[in-house]
């Protein structure tokens, strides 16, 4: 039982490059989330998926897209990376409660 | 004004000390409250939920004051292993079980 896994752990991009962050959970949770964490800002919600087949914008969706591939997997795509997207990205999942189980994070630097 | 505010610290305390953190929230409709712990360069993990009547888990005591809209966490007999950042988290059960995270309070326990 791995919980929530994320790949890659680290990534360096140049401005304008694209990439996809992968997330998978094996807890049969319906809901999945993508957050970014910046110093002093707290975790901010980018996108979430309340159930398979649905996605919704969070607080800071601009510059990102998501895909809920199936119940287990929820990916985050940066189409044209910008330095402002340098951050630590956390995927999370939850059952019907409000609690979140987080993945280990992806540290992204955009030069 | 941030929705969930915390003193960023750091709080530097000796082993064995008692330390308390406070957190204030602005949304009076908030329904669920948590403390998460985040170790350096790791993902947040649920420490404890916070109930209206207050609750205790070993050395940790959480209190909620709905009238004043603040939440507290008390740690007794601090251990070196308590060194971490403590995130105050507030949730609303509508709108997809959204959580709002505070920026965190950093605790450093010294020998």
- Strands A10-13 and A64-68, bridge-based pairing: unpaired
The CA distance from B7 to B19, in Å, is 13
- Cβ contact (<8 Å) for B87 and A100? no
A102 to chain B, any CB pair closer than 8 A? The answer is yes
- Cβ contact (<8 Å) for B43 and A56? no
Give the gap in angstroms from C-alpha A89 to the nearest C-alpha of chain B: 10
From chain B, the residues in CB contact with A100 under 8 A are: 44, 46, 99
A40: left (phi over 0), alpha (psi -120 to 50) or beta: left
Per-residue pLDDT tens listing for chain A (111 residues): 789 999 999 999 999 999 999 999 999 999 999 999 998 778 999 999 999 989 999 999 999 999 998 999 999 999 999 999 999 999 999 987 778 999 999 999 999
Cβ contacts below 8 Å, chain A against chain B, sum to 47
The CA distance from A52 to A73, in Å, is 9
The CA distance from A62 to A57, in Å, is 9
Could you read off the pLDDT of B76-111 as tens digits, one per residue? 999 999 999 999 999 976 656 689 999 999 999 999
Q: What is the DSSP letter of B81?
A: G
Provide the 3-class DSSP secondary structure of residue A85.
helix
A97 to chain B, any CB pair closer than 8 A? The answer is yes
From chain B, the residues in CB contact with A56 under 8 A are: 96
From chain B, the residues in CB contact with A41 under 8 A are: 103
Question: For residues A12 and A85, is the Cβ–Cβ distance under 8 A?
Answer: no
Q: What is the DSSP letter of A7?
A: E
What pLDDT does A91 receive? 98
């Amino acid at each position: 039982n791995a919980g929530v896994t994320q790949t890659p752990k680290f990534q360096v991009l140049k401005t304008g490059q694209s990439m996809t962050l992968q997330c998978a959970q094996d807890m049969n949770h319906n809901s999945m989330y993508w957050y970014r964490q910046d110093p002093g800002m707290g975790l901010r919600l980018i996108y979430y998926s309340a159930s398979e087949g649905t996605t919704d914008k969070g607080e800071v969706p601009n510059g990102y897209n998501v895909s809920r591939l199936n119940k287990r997997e929820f990916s985050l795509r940066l189409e044209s990376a910008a330095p402002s997207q340098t951050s630590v990205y956390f995927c999370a999942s939850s059952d019907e409660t409000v609690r979140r189980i987080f993945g280990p994070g992806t540290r992204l630097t955009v030069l | 004004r941030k929705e969930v505010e915390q003193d960023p610290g750091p709080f530097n305390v000796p082993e064995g000390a008692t330390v308390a953190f406070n957190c204030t929230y602005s949304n009076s409709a908030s329904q669920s409250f948590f403390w998460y712990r985040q170790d350096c360069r790791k993902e947040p993990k649920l420490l404890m939920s916070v109930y209206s009547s207050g609750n205790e888990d070993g050395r940790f005591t959480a209190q909620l004051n709905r009238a004043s809209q603040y939440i507290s966490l008390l740690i007794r007999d601090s251990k070196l292993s308590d060194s971490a950042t403590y995130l105050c988290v507030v949730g609303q059960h509508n709108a997809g079980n959204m959580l709002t995270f505070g920026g965190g309070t950093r605790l450093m326990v010294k020998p």
